Amino acid sequence: MAFYALVKLGFSDEREAEIIRRSISVDHPPGSRSQVTASLCGDGDTQLAIEVQASDLGALRAAVNSYLRQVKIANDAML
């Protein structure tokens, strides 16, 4: 059974959304229990969509928490 989560985050402009997307789009470690994609969407590409698929619920939770933490750190660094 696979587990899936979609998180959409809105930003004030396209530039900010693209910076955050690039900062969290790093190589995923091999042998990981989850797969993650990050893409821009919405009006003017001001939304960041983070899609996570995992083999178990614990891996899904860990991946979502990790990526949300990375988004917060990148956003705080831009302030």
Structure tokens at 25: 């789009």
Residue owning tokens 């705080």: 76
Q: What is the pLDDT of residues 42-68, one digit of tens each?
A: 777 899 888 888 888 998 899 899 889
Please determine, for residue 20, whether its predicted confidence score (pLDDT) is greater than 70.
Answer: yes
Kindly tell me the burial class for residue 77, based on how many C-beta atoms sit within 10 Å of its own C-beta (0-12, 13-18, 19 or more): exposed
**Global model pTM greater than 0.75:** yes
How does pLDDT run across 24-45, given as a tens digit for each residue?
877 556 567 777 777 778 777 8
9 pLDDT band, cuts 50/70/90, is very high
Query: What tokens does 20 get?
Result: 């955050």
List 53's β-bridge partners, or say none. 4, 35
Number of alpha carbons in the 13 Å side-chain half-sphere of residue 68? 12
CATH topology of domain 3-78: TATA-Binding Protein (3.30.310)
Give the pLDDT confidence score for residue 73 in this predicted structure.
Answer: 94
